[in-house]
Structure 1
């Protein structure tokens, strides 16, 4: 029995359910067939590093790469150096570049699928469009040198420098002409990063969608797919139906992913999701069921996870990383609950307690007793008699 803190300040007695762990799905490196699936992966901080919140991140490389091997072992791809890895929220460009190099080398060693984020986060002050392009080019060159697929991420610097939709059209056209291989184009909404408000030249999502689709239509041979992270299922469905043949839609919707991946008679979404960090083995199991044509079985596995995902990604959504790392600690993927930039403090104790309860109910912990013991240890640190 655990006393879990509630939002009203009370403690509620909770008896861990300890169902048969769904997270203990045996590893299966065989590729997923019906959908291309990437998990955006978190980084593990070095808890012994003497750093300040404003200093550069110090990463535990062994634990960070071990988690990626865990995802690859289940047949999932890894989306590297994305916002789930605290890109721009604790991990600077120097750290991201090292992460990309190390993770790409590990992917080659184990035969894992990898795609890496390309942005402009080496720019820390307002600048002009030429400098934004040069920053993108620097990062694109590094990712391509590793042999990874590039993900062209939304840029805070571009959002600040662009004056109209044409600036976005010109910038992306310039980058896509240079890319050696097709890239994944990422539209990250302001709920994930407020600095991206008005991306594609307008805060009107209908107008922004038209500009985004103009980029895709002009360069379909240079775009493997688009990742949509707007938490708007209907907009994603409408958008994916307008994509040129051969251009995938990767859902980044952590609220509606089961129905978007399952799809309908007119199509479906692939996946590039932060929630598949804690759900990795279960997500892989569900897609393997979908590979057999059993959509109902797929939904039966994945639909119950949505409550946890919506909890982790509740506003302010950008702090979902705290819950993701918390669950990785409870699941035994790392030995501590510390994050780069001190971001472990970004969610309240009642929020974390609810995350534990929901994950326990789903059977996400390979060792439920370990998860319970670690939850109790955290409560003790906060002064709760668990």
Structure 2
């Protein structure tokens, strides 16, 4: 009854289990509509990210949330639904609000403060809206979640800095260059890491070369970033033009050799060599040459660990902001309940007033009926005026009793 969420995440379920119950982004509108029908709830949003699937709902009736989730997966032909009893968690009322605010802020993510989950929440909410899944309660809840997610990222270090190895490589390079950027860069390899690096260099407006063993793959990856391409055999032709080299291949041996820099003149140093490969792509001996700076995965790990530590220091501040929003949600929810109750009481009193007028009208002269109607309306109006104060006093009394 009321607001609740039921789901699973990387904290409660293994990758293998999450794969069984994962929902794709394109499935979310249909999943939301189907779950709402199965759960018979008034409002629903289904969230699916890389590391979690959650079913948010609001209902005025008493329901078994986990049972509804199990029935949903049964309807999809999944036989391993008993696992859901082991890996799922359920939160209710304000605990649900606190949970989604933490998710939006990245406090529940595998990488503290990562912002991809924020965008995935927005996508899930949009998908639910496309099938009229959320109503007044979930609209308010998700908008507050987006608000607190933005606030925490803007006002704390929880979401600051890079959150991936290639992101760390780019950030480290800027730090080493005192906030500057290279004149030109060479990126070696075609994969997800080099794609992130190419994107970062393009955002900086840096002329970039992409080298790969096969030209076709290099051309395809380079096109969106307007990078020039070359084969690995031609690396030496651009060594003299670049002052940053990123290498991330799966080659079994050294790609960037010491002799490639034999003819480098003093105008080109320092040259930053960023090695993202295991085993190494860049000859470690280059680090002994004047003006050559090698940064490898160990350097990046230390850099990311430091950033993680900085982020963690601001978690208490982020949690304080979340509690403020939980309080704001609770106040809004209480007022909404009061408004709903007042409307219902006003409607019922008006019905009673009319019934009683009809019942006793024969005991009064016809000329007095209008006065009686006005008198009864005035009674209802005065009662409705003091009722909010009575409700507020009653609520305060309940809180004191519970505490």
TM-score, normalisation: structure 2 = 0.21
- In terms of fraction of residues, the more helix-rich structure is 2
Higher RCO (Cα < 8 Å, 6 or more apart): 1
When Rg is computed on C-alpha atoms for both structures, the one with the higher figure is: 2
TM superposition score normalised by structure 1 = 0.22
